Amino acid sequence: MKVLYVFAHPEPKSFNAALNDTALAALKEKGHEVELSDLYAMNFNPVLNVGDFTERKKSDIFKPFFEAIQASKTGAFAPDIKQEMEKVKWADILIFQFPIYFTAMPAIMKGWIDRVLAPGFGFNPVTNSAYETGLFKGKSAMLAFTTGSPKEAYSEGGMHGDIHKHMESVTHCVFEFMGMKVLPSFIVFEASAMKQEKGAEELEKYRKRILEL
Protein backbone atom coordinates (compact mmCIF):
# COMPACT_ATOMS: atom_id res chain seq x y z
CA MET A 1 0.00 0.00 0.00
CA LYS A 2 1.18 3.52 -0.80
CA VAL A 3 0.62 6.02 2.00
CA LEU A 4 0.88 9.80 1.94
CA TYR A 5 1.23 11.04 5.52
CA VAL A 6 0.48 14.76 5.87
CA PHE A 7 1.66 16.04 9.25
CA ALA A 8 1.24 19.43 10.88
CA HIS A 9 2.84 20.33 14.20
CA PRO A 10 5.62 22.90 14.73
CA GLU A 11 7.41 21.14 17.62
CA PRO A 12 9.59 18.04 16.94
CA LYS A 13 9.47 17.08 20.66
CA SER A 14 5.66 17.22 20.90
CA PHE A 15 3.27 14.34 21.50
CA ASN A 16 2.01 14.88 17.96
CA ALA A 17 5.54 14.34 16.70
CA ALA A 18 5.66 11.09 18.67
CA LEU A 19 2.39 10.02 17.03
CA ASN A 20 3.91 10.82 13.65
CA ASP A 21 7.05 8.81 14.37
CA THR A 22 4.94 5.90 15.65
CA ALA A 23 2.82 5.84 12.51
CA LEU A 24 5.76 6.00 10.12
CA ALA A 25 7.55 3.18 11.94
CA ALA A 26 4.41 1.01 11.91
CA LEU A 27 3.76 1.63 8.23
CA LYS A 28 7.31 0.67 7.33
CA GLU A 29 7.10 -2.37 9.63
CA LYS A 30 4.15 -3.59 7.54
CA GLY A 31 6.08 -3.02 4.34
CA HIS A 32 4.00 -0.11 3.07
CA GLU A 33 5.54 2.59 0.88
CA VAL A 34 5.38 5.98 2.62
CA GLU A 35 5.72 9.61 1.56
CA LEU A 36 5.79 12.20 4.36
CA SER A 37 4.71 15.81 3.96
CA ASP A 38 5.84 17.44 7.22
CA LEU A 39 4.28 20.84 6.53
CA TYR A 40 6.09 22.90 9.17
CA ALA A 41 9.45 21.28 8.40
CA MET A 42 8.83 21.98 4.71
CA ASN A 43 7.89 25.59 5.52
CA PHE A 44 4.86 24.94 3.35
CA ASN A 45 3.10 28.11 2.22
CA PRO A 46 -0.63 27.74 3.00
CA VAL A 47 -1.70 30.94 1.22
CA LEU A 48 -3.34 30.53 -2.17
CA ASN A 49 -2.29 33.45 -4.41
CA VAL A 50 -1.36 34.41 -7.96
CA GLY A 51 2.05 32.76 -7.53
CA ASP A 52 0.35 29.36 -7.50
CA PHE A 53 0.11 29.52 -11.29
CA THR A 54 3.07 29.80 -13.65
CA GLU A 55 0.74 30.80 -16.49
CA ARG A 56 -2.45 32.80 -16.19
CA LYS A 57 -5.70 32.39 -18.06
CA LYS A 58 -6.66 35.95 -17.17
CA SER A 59 -4.01 38.47 -16.20
CA ASP A 60 -6.36 41.37 -15.50
CA ILE A 61 -8.32 39.71 -12.68
CA PHE A 62 -7.44 36.84 -10.35
CA LYS A 63 -10.08 34.13 -10.15
CA PRO A 64 -8.31 31.20 -8.47
CA PHE A 65 -11.06 28.66 -9.19
CA PHE A 66 -10.85 29.20 -12.94
CA GLU A 67 -7.05 29.49 -12.92
CA ALA A 68 -6.88 26.09 -11.18
CA ILE A 69 -9.19 24.52 -13.76
CA GLN A 70 -6.94 25.83 -16.52
CA ALA A 71 -3.74 24.80 -14.74
CA SER A 72 -5.05 21.27 -14.29
CA LYS A 73 -5.15 21.03 -18.08
CA THR A 74 -1.84 22.76 -18.82
CA GLY A 75 0.23 21.78 -15.79
CA ALA A 76 0.78 25.44 -14.90
CA PHE A 77 0.81 24.93 -11.12
CA ALA A 78 3.72 26.21 -9.01
CA PRO A 79 6.45 23.60 -8.32
CA ASP A 80 5.55 23.10 -4.64
CA ILE A 81 1.94 22.35 -5.56
CA LYS A 82 2.97 19.99 -8.36
CA GLN A 83 5.20 18.07 -5.97
CA GLU A 84 2.37 17.49 -3.53
CA MET A 85 -0.07 16.62 -6.32
CA GLU A 86 2.28 13.88 -7.50
CA LYS A 87 2.27 12.42 -3.98
CA VAL A 88 -1.53 12.44 -3.93
CA LYS A 89 -1.76 10.73 -7.34
CA TRP A 90 0.72 8.09 -6.18
CA ALA A 91 -0.98 7.34 -2.84
CA ASP A 92 -3.63 4.73 -2.06
CA ILE A 93 -4.38 6.30 1.31
CA LEU A 94 -3.89 9.80 2.70
CA ILE A 95 -3.46 10.21 6.47
CA PHE A 96 -3.71 13.71 7.96
CA GLN A 97 -2.33 14.15 11.48
CA PHE A 98 -2.57 17.36 13.50
CA PRO A 99 -3.65 19.03 16.76
CA ILE A 100 -7.10 20.62 16.93
CA TYR A 101 -6.98 24.43 16.86
CA PHE A 102 -10.33 26.11 17.58
CA THR A 103 -12.27 22.94 16.62
CA ALA A 104 -10.46 22.65 13.27
CA MET A 105 -7.17 21.61 11.70
CA PRO A 106 -4.25 24.09 11.70
CA ALA A 107 -4.28 26.73 8.97
CA ILE A 108 -1.15 25.30 7.36
CA MET A 109 -2.95 22.00 6.73
CA LYS A 110 -6.15 23.66 5.52
CA GLY A 111 -3.95 25.68 3.18
CA TRP A 112 -2.41 22.45 1.86
CA ILE A 113 -5.94 21.23 1.05
CA ASP A 114 -6.87 24.54 -0.59
CA ARG A 115 -3.78 24.67 -2.78
CA VAL A 116 -3.14 20.99 -3.55
CA LEU A 117 -6.63 19.47 -3.86
CA ALA A 118 -7.46 22.14 -6.39
CA PRO A 119 -10.43 22.33 -8.78
CA GLY A 120 -9.64 20.26 -11.85
CA PHE A 121 -7.30 18.04 -9.84
CA GLY A 122 -9.32 17.09 -6.77
CA PHE A 123 -12.67 17.38 -8.49
CA ASN A 124 -14.02 18.26 -11.92
CA PRO A 125 -16.95 20.71 -11.83
CA VAL A 126 -17.40 20.46 -15.60
CA THR A 127 -18.41 16.79 -15.45
CA ASN A 128 -20.03 17.07 -12.01
CA SER A 129 -17.63 14.40 -10.75
CA ALA A 130 -18.29 14.30 -7.01
CA TYR A 131 -18.94 11.86 -4.20
CA GLU A 132 -19.69 8.47 -5.80
CA THR A 133 -18.01 9.47 -9.08
CA GLY A 134 -15.22 11.65 -7.62
CA LEU A 135 -11.79 11.83 -9.23
CA PHE A 136 -10.16 10.17 -6.20
CA LYS A 137 -12.49 7.18 -6.12
CA GLY A 138 -10.45 4.17 -5.00
CA LYS A 139 -8.36 6.18 -2.55
CA SER A 140 -8.95 6.38 1.21
CA ALA A 141 -8.41 9.16 3.73
CA MET A 142 -8.05 9.20 7.50
CA LEU A 143 -7.69 11.85 10.18
CA ALA A 144 -5.55 11.43 13.31
CA PHE A 145 -5.63 14.31 15.76
CA THR A 146 -5.29 15.46 19.34
CA THR A 147 -7.47 17.80 21.38
CA GLY A 148 -6.80 19.94 24.42
CA SER A 149 -10.27 19.45 25.86
CA PRO A 150 -11.66 16.17 27.23
CA LYS A 151 -13.90 13.85 25.26
CA GLU A 152 -17.01 15.10 27.08
CA ALA A 153 -16.41 18.62 25.75
CA TYR A 154 -16.27 17.33 22.17
CA SER A 155 -19.33 15.09 22.44
CA GLU A 156 -22.88 15.85 21.39
CA GLY A 157 -24.26 18.16 24.06
CA GLY A 158 -20.76 19.07 25.25
CA MET A 159 -19.55 22.66 25.34
CA HIS A 160 -17.74 22.39 21.98
CA GLY A 161 -20.16 20.03 20.26
CA ASP A 162 -19.52 16.71 18.52
CA ILE A 163 -15.97 16.71 17.12
CA HIS A 164 -17.04 14.36 14.32
CA LYS A 165 -19.54 16.93 13.10
CA HIS A 166 -16.85 19.62 13.14
CA MET A 167 -14.64 17.38 11.02
CA GLU A 168 -17.37 16.77 8.42
CA SER A 169 -16.27 19.97 6.68
CA VAL A 170 -13.20 17.95 5.70
CA THR A 171 -14.23 14.28 5.90
CA HIS A 172 -17.48 14.73 3.98
CA CYS A 173 -17.18 18.02 2.09
CA VAL A 174 -13.60 17.42 0.92
CA PHE A 175 -12.61 13.74 1.06
CA GLU A 176 -15.95 12.11 0.26
CA PHE A 177 -16.74 14.91 -2.18
CA MET A 178 -13.61 13.90 -4.10
CA GLY A 179 -14.64 10.25 -4.10
CA MET A 180 -12.42 8.99 -1.30
CA LYS A 181 -13.47 6.45 1.32
CA VAL A 182 -13.15 7.99 4.79
CA LEU A 183 -11.75 5.72 7.48
CA PRO A 184 -12.65 6.26 11.16
CA SER A 185 -10.57 8.97 12.82
CA PHE A 186 -8.00 8.26 15.51
CA ILE A 187 -8.46 10.80 18.32
CA VAL A 188 -6.46 11.48 21.47
CA PHE A 189 -8.51 13.68 23.78
CA GLU A 190 -7.02 16.05 26.37
CA ALA A 191 -3.51 15.35 25.11
CA SER A 192 -1.93 18.34 26.85
CA ALA A 193 -2.90 16.99 30.29
CA MET A 194 -1.78 13.39 29.77
CA LYS A 195 0.68 11.67 32.06
CA GLN A 196 3.61 9.83 30.48
CA GLU A 197 2.03 6.41 31.07
CA LYS A 198 -1.22 7.45 29.39
CA GLY A 199 0.74 8.91 26.49
CA ALA A 200 2.56 5.61 25.99
CA GLU A 201 -0.79 3.79 25.97
CA GLU A 202 -2.16 6.11 23.29
CA LEU A 203 0.95 5.68 21.16
CA GLU A 204 0.54 1.91 21.35
CA LYS A 205 -3.15 2.22 20.40
CA TYR A 206 -2.16 4.30 17.38
CA ARG A 207 0.55 1.83 16.41
CA LYS A 208 -2.00 -1.02 16.43
CA ARG A 209 -4.49 1.07 14.47
CA ILE A 210 -1.90 1.82 11.78
CA LEU A 211 -0.83 -1.84 11.62
CA GLU A 212 -4.47 -2.79 10.99
CA LEU A 213 -4.88 -0.50 7.97
* Burial (0-12, 13-18, 19+ Cβ within 10 Å), 4: buried
Mean pLDDT within 171-180: 97
Which pLDDT score is estimated for 43?
Answer: 98
Map residue 68 onto helix, strand or coil. helix
Ranges of H-type helices in 91-126: 107-116
Map residue 99 onto helix, strand or coil. strand
Which pLDDT score is estimated for 101?
Answer: 96
CB 136 within 8 A of CB 122: yes
Which pLDDT score is estimated for 128?
Answer: 75
Which pLDDT score is estimated for 130?
Answer: 87
The phi and psi torsions of 64 (rounded to 5 degrees) equal: -55, -35
pLDDT in tens, 13-67: 999 999 999 999 999 999 999 999 999 999 999 999 999 999 999 999 999 999 9
Which domains, ranges and CATH numbers included, belong to the chain?
2-211 (3.40.50.360)
Q: By percentage, how much of the chain surpasses pLDDT 70?
A: 100
Mean pLDDT within 184-188: 98
CB 95 within 8 A of CB 105: no
List 5, 111, 120, 154, catalytic entry: 154
List 101, 131, 160, 164, catalytic entry: 160
Helix axes 107-116, 79-90, angle to 10 degrees: 80
The phi and psi torsions of 200 (rounded to 5 degrees) equal: -65, -40
Confidence of residue 133 (pLDDT cuts 50, 70, 90): confident
Map residue 6 onto helix, strand or coil. strand
Residue 154 annotated in active site? yes
Higher pLDDT, 133 or 11: 11
pLDDT in tens, 102-131: 999 999 999 999 999 999 999 988 777 789
List 32, 101, 148, 158, catalytic entry: 148
Q: Distance between CA atoms of 4 and 141, rounded to whole angstroms?
A: 9
Which pLDDT score is estimated for 195?
Answer: 94
Which pLDDT score is estimated for 125?
Answer: 83
Cβ partners under 8 Å of residue 116, min gap 6: 81, 84, 85, 88, 122
Residue 148 annotated in active site? yes
Total residues belonging to the chain: 213
Higher pLDDT, 124 or 83: 83
pTM for this prediction: 0.96
